[in-house]
Amino acid sequence: MDYTMEQYQQSAQALQQRLGDFRPRVLLILGSGLGALADAVENPICVPYAEVPHMKRSTAPDHKGQFVFGKLSGQNVAVMQGRLHTYEGWSFQDVSYPVRVLRLLGAEAMIVTNAAGAVNTSFSAGDIMLITDHIKLFGVSPLCGPNLEEFGPRFPDMSHVYTPALRDVARQTAKALEISLREGVYMYFPGPQYETPAEVRLARTLGADAVGMSTVPEAIVAAHCGMQVLGFTLCTNMAAGVLESPLSSDEVLEAAAQAGPRFGALVKGCLARL
């Protein structure tokens, strides 16, 4: 469904009423394993997605489905504790809806994280990858439909979706915290089924380093409306066909939980330097 400017504004107004004079500067969209970071937000104001007009609910496992507004690492943040995915039946416009709402509330930057399968065979399960670029060949664009000029142009440039200056911040932060950081290209697959080994070979041939089911719609919409974007992937497993063993969501959640503290420290460290 195509949302109108009025709908985005209604959502922003409803949230602003809850927030008083608090203005979020950074939007954090947290994938599997990092939901706990929202619990570290100081003076939290929690708003369930169900209370935001026009916004869809999050149904994925381990995804709570609320905004948490407050201070984290000294920054005014809006944390999405649980994101929306297209495999839940939502459209790309639904999934990226909150990005535009937060832009209207004044957010200038977005940090987005996800769990994914490592396609690059020099990576290991548990590695954190700084997203340098993405590939999205599946489905239409979240920008399809009438263009809302208030947000950005009809044909936006996608040369630097993942802001180079923020990537530098991530490298510096990882170094300071002695957290090893891979870098690479994230390829979007719609899911909810994991990829086949042949699809993973295709992704590798195209230049992808990790495959996952999220992040890209939000990143496109954020770049379109002029937000800076920083993206991290937690490689919870080697992608299908790299190893003999089948993939399981229990394994993914377990790996995500295990890496949670290290991943959280990296995100908080980056936030402090923004």
Q: Which residues bind ligand HPA (CB under 6 A)?
A: 115-117, 189, 194-195, 211-213, 236-237, 239, 247, 252
User: Distance (Å, rounded) from C-alpha 211 to C-alpha 79?
Assistant: 24
CB-based contact 7:151 (threshold 8 Å)? no
Closer Cβ to ligand HPA, 117 or 184, answer by number: 117
We find the least distance from the C-beta atom of residue 114 to ligand HPA, in angstroms, to be 7
Q: How far is the CB of 117 from ligand HPA (least distance, A)?
A: 2
- Cβ distance to ligand HPA smaller for residue 49 or 194: 194
Least separation in angstroms between residue 104's CB and ligand HPA is: 30
The nearer residue to ligand HPA, 247 or 259, going by C-beta atoms, is 247
Beta bridge partners of 66: 48, 81
Closer CB to ligand HPA, 115 or 221, in the complex: 115
Nearer to ligand HPA, 97 or 189 (CB): 189
Q: Which residue has the tokens 């039946």?
A: 89
**Residue of this chain nearest to ligand HPA (CB atom):** 117
CB 189 → ligand HPA: shortest distance, Å? 6
Q: Which H or E run includes 5?
A: helix 5-19
Task: Give the shortest CB-140-to-ligand HPA separation in angstroms.
Answer: 20
From CA 181, how far away is CA 101, in angstroms rounded? 31
Contacts 24+ apart (CB under 8 A), 164-170: 165/228, 166/109, 166/228, 166/229, 166/230, 166/270, 166/274, 167/130, 167/132, 167/230, 169/230, 169/270, 169/273, 169/274, 170/130, 170/230, 170/232, 170/266, 170/270
Gap between the Cα atoms of 114 and 252, Å rounded: 11
In terms of CB distance, is 13 or 193 closer to ligand HPA? 193
Which residues sit opposite 210 in a β-bridge? 118, 186
CB of residue 169 vs ligand HPA: minimum separation in angstroms? 25
Using the minimum distance from each CB to ligand HPA, give the nearer residue, 78 or 267.
267
Residue 267, C-beta contacts closer than 8 angstroms, at least 6 positions apart: 28, 34, 37, 111, 113, 232
Rounded to a whole number of angstroms, the minimum distance from the CB of residue 251 to ligand HPA is 9
Helix, strand, or coil here: 211?
strand
